[in-house]
Structure 1
Amino acid sequence: MIKTFTPKRFLTSILFFSMVCITVVSLTNSGGSNGGYTNAPGENNCTQCHSGTLQTSGTNFNNISFSGNFTGNGYIPDSTYTVTLKYEHSGKSKFGFQLTALDNTNAMAGSLNNTNTRVSITTATISGATRSYARHTGSGNSGTDSIEWTFEWTAPSTNKDTIIFYSIVNSANNAGGNSGDIIIAREFKIAPSTLLPEATAGTTNSTPCQAAAVNLTGSSTNNPTSWQWTIPGATPNSSTAQNPSVIFTAPGAKYAVLVSKNAKGYSLPDTVFMTVNSAPSSFIIGNATRTICPGDSVKLEVASQAGVSYLWSTGATTTSIYAKSSGQYSVIATGSNGCARNSNVITVNEHTKPTATLSSSASVFNDSSCSNSSITLMASSSAFDSFYYFSNSTEIAKSISSNQVVSFDTTTTYGLRVKDSNGCLSDISDYTVVSKNQLPAPVIICNTITPSTILFSWDGSLYHDGFQVSLNEGLSWVNPSSGATGVTHLVSGLQPQDTFDLWVRAKDDAPCFYSEIGNQKCVTDTCSQLEATVTYDDEFCHGELITIEVNGLSGENYGLSLDGSTSFTDTIIKFNASLSKTYVLGIKDSNNLACPANEIEIPITVDKINDINLKKDKIGAYCAGETVTFTANDTIETFDFYWNNTLAQSGTSNTYTNSGMKQNDSVFVIVTKGACIDTSEVDYVIFEGPANASFTYSRSGSVYTFVPAEMSFAAYSWDFGDGTAINHDVSPTHDYALKEGEDVTVSLEVTTDNNCVTDSSEVISLPLFSNVDLIRNLGLEFYPNPVTDNLVVNNSKGKTGELTIYSISGELLEKVNLVGNRQVIALHTFEAGVYVLKVSIDGKETSIQILKN
């Protein structure tokens, strides 16, 4: 907050007032020059533009005075003061000044403000920093023998120590130039107000040990109300207490800075210096809390250091100890310089020892079990990480399971030790299981044997609770087929020469429940098969009835099957032929169903004609005199072809060719394949009638138009008889200009949709188409002829008309208007050959041939 005239706080700063050069009123600087001419550090002065030597002492120097309404002989930070710069010089009436205020870092100290029209404020950048300047104005540069300038200065917001005001005064000669002026520079220093506090920082120990408490002492003048310590590298590194206690964690040169405050403001900082002696490290390595199992210990250790002694809370003086009980442990490390450091505190706790008891699956039988068996040892709880099992004091298993299956033969004392999640072991818990003996195994014999059954039996005189049998080597047990207390068991459904192993055990009281297991292997008898004969035909046509007769089974108990069918007894077997295969007849002895059937193979061939597929080699009608070929399916064995119901060809060939057929002749084929015979459908031959290939023609000049008698044939071929290319148009035109006066033979060949060809021809006598006399009468002359590049037209009568050039095939190549007495037609781009030049004049037409080389 800024206050006017009333001091607020004192700051130890340097205040610089400075005055700037002025010229006479007639000069451009009569209102004050730009900033930067106060002779302050980094600035110029008014001698840069006014001749003369800068005066920094003497009478004129002493005639400059500076005053203000300061309190306590100085400034209070953030307070505003009215200040006056005054200069006295007898006989002078024109003056100028410039002034600025700087702190001890040459930075702008506070701010300047004009309060009247005699002073203005400007700024300038010096060495990269902005400075403010008070300067005279055009209305503030006149006085008689003296002059003064009044303005406001607001002190910096913090104590900047002594402030220097840099001022410069121009005592002008009023000559209207820049020579003869007197330039004087003077500095004025304003210290902080004596009403501000003065802080004194101290300590009770200037050479403390590292990590030891250091007591700082603070004092101040002028009734301080608060304190602010700054202690780099200390803990804490700042404090508002007057006499704080701190700790330096690192050795070396250290300091603490104190600033006090009272109602007027802050003091200048005061610093106390200290040298912190190094103290050895006493940190106990590892976690702050350790937990051990009962009976265990944990190693506590500090890093070994030369010249350092250690004293543990247990009284030990080594660098490490083993803590075997719960409690708190610490160590003091003392260096050769006498500096000691207390370590961190380690808390050691002790886990509760785990406990567990052991039982087993034999506990339900008063802790007894049958010899040669297995039992399950069971811990009283599963809430442990590891289980250690013992047999007669020897460890037999380590597991994460609370159950352990063990083999049991004789009376045994088992033990259990557990490890909990903390890694702590329990004591061993003992548990004894007593052995009981089993009854002896039953003795089994093979009693009655057939090819499909075995009757087992055994002596039951030693047993009183019944028996069980196993048909799968002990995987499961059932009662014997003779009952729970029976002494026989029948196994049926076997095959001849099968071996079967039967296990038998007797029931008993707990804990054994069963006797030892007896077993016996027995083998079923061999088989003899029924014999029979079979009669049948071995080849059929598809769909015919097959008959098979079985003989020689009279008086036998049998069952028949065909290709694995259900059993039947009918010895005459009938079924429709469908495919070639070898059938298998099975003859089964019904008195001994376990014996395999006697199998007799019956090979049957079944023939089949799927499709004769008789067809001609051409779709549609044949041409007159054309050869006809018939083809049948080539998978058939023999073919008999009939032409008009008469056998024409017989054999294995599936193709029949005839070049003498007539309209509506018929053909069919009888085919044979194995036992099958089939006849095709009758196919008829159609011949096409002769085509009309005649034509007519008409003429227009040398161009002829040809028209066929019929215009619906599949193809037309015209030969114009003059050596030109064949034309395939239906009704073509042709220009005979080059053949005038000759006879030409024109022929036409037509092709029908059935590819039948018919032709006709006619001789045409061509008239003369050109008229040389007519051309001469018209006054025309064409030369040279033959021509190589340019054809000259001489038009002696100057007639107008049209000249047209055609190719020999009648293609229009060029058209020229006949104008004037002489023309040139360029033919250099034409290929060598014969061309027709047509002339049209006065309604008359004629033509001549032109030969191009």
Structure 2
Amino acid sequence: MRIIYLAAAMFVGVIFLVAGTTKIGTAPILRTNAPGEASCGGCHSGNINTGSGSVNFNLPAKYNPGQTYTLNFEVDDNAFASGRHGFTMTALDGSQTMAGSFMALNAGTSSVQTGTVSGAQRQYMGHKNASASTDDWTFEWTAPASNVGPVTFYTVGVHSNGLNNTSGDYVYQQTFTIAPASPPQADFGASKMALCLGETVTFTDSSQGSINAWSWSFGADASPATSMSANPGPVSYATPGTKTITLIAAGADGVDTVTMVITVEEAPTLMLSPDTVYNCSGTPVVLSVPILSGTFEWSCSLPGSDCQILDPNAFSTSATPNWPSQIDQILYFGQLTSQAGCASNLDSIIVLRNPTPEFQLVAEDSFLCPGEGTSLLLEELGSNEAPGPFEFSWVIGGFGDVDSVFIQPTVSDQWTALVTDANGCVDSFEVTVDVFEPQPISVNELGGSMVGVDEGVSFAWFFINATEDTLVEIVGANMSTLNIDGLDTLPGYQADIVAEIVLENGCTVRSEIFGLAQIISSLEKKWLQAIELYPNPSGDLVRLSVSELEQDFEWEVLDLQGKQVLARQSAYQEAEWTVKDWTPGIYLVQIWIEGNSYFQKLQVQPSK
């Protein structure tokens, strides 16, 4: 776009060159008095800005980036009738970089040249074929493609006296600055892009540029419908739908318009179905709505922990309410919120509680001894309001639809039965039956020929016939203790015996099997405990002592093949010998005390 501006005297930077006859053809470059340049006053000495004339430059007040302007520059001075007129100029931004570009419109009177200052190229607009009859020049300047800030035109105009020397001419140096235009760029924001009918929205101006007037139109059925304020107050709408908002921003540098579309939504209507359901305690209530947009929230008339809603924000979920006593009705509420945030009415589902079966499970005998059994019976309570007929099932045992069963458990356990009424409501009932688990009872040696057990209230003793797998009662043996002397003379004698014991809880148990062949007399125990062989192992001197023995004892040493290593000899309470030269290994020391022999192992190790 090209705009022609007629003469308007402005402050611009241009260099004008007319020097005798040397620069009549083409204006000089690098003489605009711009930073880094000289002035035409260097050749046309003296009289800088002292003449009665002036220069006129019709720059616009502001520039729009990339726009082309038609400019006119005039040297207004006719002091010399035969004098000539000339000029030169360049345009720079704040960083002293060439701003925009020039183009001559009359090749006979104007010229465009380039020069370099500090490595940067500059363009120069100037006269051509200077004469007395031409004192103004029309040309084009295209503004920079982007906003580079203020642009300064460095200009020099010359009116020469025509005497073909360097003195007596008039030189006019002047700078003109043009600012970038600031056309409006209309823009605004909304407090919300979607709102519910009855709500308000606020629009905030965010336009750029020089603006002094705003004109708003808020769309159909808006209140208010229009505004002339930069930031109007809240706006509401009487009807739902899409609304087009228009802002016109105007200023000295132009007008701009922008639009925005928002949505006004009517609150959704919610109707839950079915509106009434029946619930058995402990079973889930299905909560569902055929909606898939927006958000949903479930709640209920009970405290939050009793509602037991699986997912309160799901369109389809379930709830297993904790029914408080004396409460037979619960309201589950639902509310839909649209994507615009519009909340529906609050609708509800009424949940009525069906009575659950009221029974009790009893055991004829809740404590059993091993091998015993008992009957379990489901009894209907007088407070039962659940309708029959009833169905019965048992969690363990594999029993059928019966209300009583006989069990013979081996361990303590809890037994559970389920009762289902005519409405399908189910409740469970439990009873615990304990089975006594006896701990092992050992037969203990009591000294001499007596053995016995430590617990029980009545007793019987038996020989065990392992061959025939039978028990033979020892007649007369009905105490907690038993004298084993002479048992081998009784009928049915066996080497193993067992006690049958009736405990305080009434259960009959048997002791552990006791082998008569394992009995060691107290005298034998005494001497085994009295014999001491030390050190053991040994590689040198070995001592053998028998404490509390008031007479001699005899002893010998054998190897593991039974060969005598040290001959049998006697000693009183203690004997000693050396094994320093013996072959390392295990040896047996046989000791005779009161006609009975006892063995001790001796380990011989290499001598040091």
Q: Per the shorter chain, which TM-score range?
A: 0.3 to 0.5
Bigger Rg, which one: 1
TM-score by length of 2: 0.46
